[in-house]
Amino acid sequence: MLTDKHIIITGGGSGVGAEIARDFAQTGAKVTIFGRNEEKLKAQGHAYQVCDVTSVEQVQSAVQAAIEHHGPVDVAIANAGAAESVPFSKMSFDDLNKMLAVNLTGVFNLWQATLPSMKAGGWGRLIAVASTAGLKGYPYVSGYVAAKHAVVGLTRSVAIELGTSGVTANAICPGFIETPMLTRSINTIVAKTGMSNDDAEAALKKNNPQNRFIQTDEVAGTALWLCSDAARSVNGHALALSGGEI
């Protein structure tokens, strides 16, 4: 079903984004990945555009260039994200805005730039890689949690607006995923608390009843399913991949 469809994935240079790009390419889809690091993007072997998802001008320009290369966009997966840990009492307004910019505005920018293609074609998939932080609270990452909750709200509203268009909007909400971003989070915990690496990992895994980290292929597989005909009525949903945490 995805053969020759054009898929754009932000944050495609590593981790979840790179896994999604590989899996979609294997279906015969035309894949374009976005990111800020050209070296990492180039290493993935897909068409790419260098851009910062927080900039509406850069995203619009990158989407237009991608369309000129691969044609109209059929699927837009807003995967780029970042998490910073700081107690709320010490969080600055700038800290909050940074979390909102990459985690929320990045989704908004990509979806707005790609939606006209989908509406014109009468079919499309808007997908946000959010987090269980969009469904519950976690300590010391209130800015990230606020941004991911906003992504879930955006998804639900957009889905209703697009109900009869042939385009669906959904969010994937994984727990802690075993990626470079998780490694950085664990290193931060170790540095700030003096915990061992193993203890820091255990502290994060305990949220998951399966006592493990989510793997990138689970997120990619969920994105593929959302693009299948079997998921045509799944709209405005926030799918938790958390082993039963939520």
Cα(95)–Cα(142) distance, integer angstroms: 10
pLDDT of residue 104: 98
Beta bridge pairs of residue 31? 7
pLDDT tens string, the chain, 246 residues long: the values are: 899 999 999 999 999 999 999 999 999 999 999 999 999 999 999 999 999 999 999 999 999 999 999 999 999 999 999 998 899 999 999 999 999 999 999 999 999 999 999 999 999 999 999 999 999 999 989 999 999 999 999 999 999 999 999 999 999 999 999 987 788 888 888 888 888 888 889 988 998 999 999 999 999 999 999 999 999 999 999 999 999 999
* Burial zone of 94 (CB within 10 Å; 0-12 exposed, 13-18 middle, 19+ buried): exposed
Beta bridge pairs of residue 132? none
State whether CATH 3.20.20.100 applies to domain 6-176+214-241. Answer: no
Sequence spans of domains, the chain: 6-176+214-241, 178-213
Beta bridge pairs of residue 6? 30
At residue 181, the 3 state secondary structure works out as helix
Q: Encoding tokens for residue 173?
A: 């909400």
Sheet with 167-174: list strands edge to edge.
47-50, 30-35, 6-10, 75-78, 124-129, 167-174, 238-241
Catalytic residue among 48, 138, 140, 144: 144
Identify which of 74, 60, 66 has the alpha carbon closest to the alpha carbon of residue 29.
74
Q: Encoding tokens for residue 90?
A: 């010490």
Q: Catalytic site residue 144?
A: yes
pLDDT of residue 85: 87
In contact, 48 and 12? CB cutoff 8 Å: yes
* β-pair type (30-35, 75-78): unpaired
The angle at the Cα of 11, spanning 208 to 128, to the nearest 5 degrees, equals 60
